[in-house]
Copies of this chain bind each other. A is one copy, B any other.
């Protein structure tokens, strides 16, 4: 990803919500990332504690209690945050002014995901103007993330969605610039579409996260001829615990071991095995070929969705050539608030 993002005018700020692991963040920074993204204030606190000095919280932080924590954190690290509401901006601005602490503010624009963010165009200007009242707040740019576009299966569908997103971002920037605001950064993008944002001529910062692990769902995306897929690196190690039923085997990894919101896991390098059904602590495999499975045999599952799966674990067990080389704590696991 560092190589793929090394383009004039493009910087990489990988999303740490995928790995929640300071050791991976440090390696991303060592490879040239300008900082990391977090999704939760609690995550950002964990990464700051671990020495990560430049963090963008790609989310709105609401309410006085949390804003106080945010302002406290901004005294320790270079911190950015999103806004899409005037009341929230005013509350943040007042607290930051009181403390005299600098905070980078990105206006979130809904460029197609239908989640947070103001509509493209003029609403961003209202927020930018309000921001002027708070000397320690800095308009750092626009946050234009189109998450759902990444999971469109066909390259042309993804291209169309990101072209629309880039257009909405460009339009909003023009309105702000015409009103005298500088818009230093337009940030967004994820693993499933980052080449499109990168080459759009509009985005200047990329936030992909899942590329460090990949998952079964991204593997379903058709790729353009020029696109190199990232390799799968995240597996849930599981063992066969029952072979009592002919044609099936039961493994010891179910819903508590692998998030199935994007579908059931697949079995790594075993196309003859179909993970058919998950209950809390069991997975039922259908055996389609002639190779049988023995009790206790280990298999590797490829989770349907890496981010919420990683959030189930306290440690990443790092394996190279079948040897465990390191244990990396998933220090921000469960950081929800």
Interface residues in chain A, defined as those with a beta carbon under 8 Å from any beta carbon in chain B? 17, 39-40, 59-60, 62-63, 84-85, 87-88, 108, 110, 114-119, 123, 147, 239-245, 248, 250, 252-253, 255-257, 259-261, 278-282, 284, 295-296, 305, 307-308, 311-314, 334, 336-337
B63 x A282 contact (CB < 8 A): no
**CB-based contact A116/B147 at 8 Å:** no
Asked, given contacts A62-B239, A85-B242, whether A279 binds B314 with beta carbons under 8 Å apart, the answer is: no
Closest Cβ–Cβ distance, residue A327 to chain B (whole Å)? 14
Chain B residues near A255: list those with CB within 8 A. 259, 261, 305, 307-308
Q: Are B279 and A115 in contact (CB under 8 A)?
A: yes
Contacts of A147 in B (CB 8 A): 279
User: In the bound complex, how far is the Cα of B116 from the Cα of A260, in angstroms?
Assistant: 21
Q: A59, A242, A250, A337: which has the most chain B beta carbons within 10 Å?
A: A242
Known: A85-B242, A116-B241. A280 touches B308 (CB 8 A): yes
Taking a contact as CB atoms under 8 Å apart, the answer to whether B334 and A244 are in contact is no
A161 to chain B, nearest CB (A): 16
Flag if A244 contacts B280 (CB, 8 Å): no
How many copies of this chain? 2
Supposing A62-B241, A307-B256 touch, asked if A114 and B296 sit within 8 A by C-beta, the answer is no
CB distance from A73 to the nearest CB of B (A): 17
Q: Can you list 25 A-B pairs, Cβ within 8 angstroms, ordered by A?
A: A17-B280, A59-B252, A62-B240, A62-B295, A63-B296, A84-B242, A84-B244, A85-B242, A85-B244, A110-B245, A114-B245, A114-B248, A115-B279, A115-B282, A116-B241, A116-B282, A117-B244, A118-B244, A119-B244, A147-B279, A252-B336, A252-B337, A256-B308, A280-B307, A313-B334
Interface of A is mostly: loop
Give the nearest-CB partner of A17 in chain B.
B280
Interface centre among A248, A261, A314, A337, by most chain B C-beta atoms within 10 angstroms, is A261
Cβ contact of A39, chosen from B250, B280, B307, cutoff 8 A: B280
- Chain B residues with Cβ under 8 A from A241's Cβ? 59-60, 62, 116
Pick from B110, B116, B336: contact of A256, CB below 8 A: B336
Instruction: Give the complex CA separation of A115 and B244 in angstroms.
Output: 9
Bound together, the chains give a CA A88 to CA B294 distance in angstroms of: 11
If A85-B295, A108-B244, A114-B245 are given as contacts, then 4 extra A-B residue pairs at C-beta distance below 8 Å, sorted by A number, are A62-B296, A116-B241, A118-B244, A312-B334
Q: Within 8 Å CB of A295, what residues of B?
A: 62, 85, 87-88
- Residues on B with beta carbons closer than 8 Å to the beta carbon of A84: 242, 244
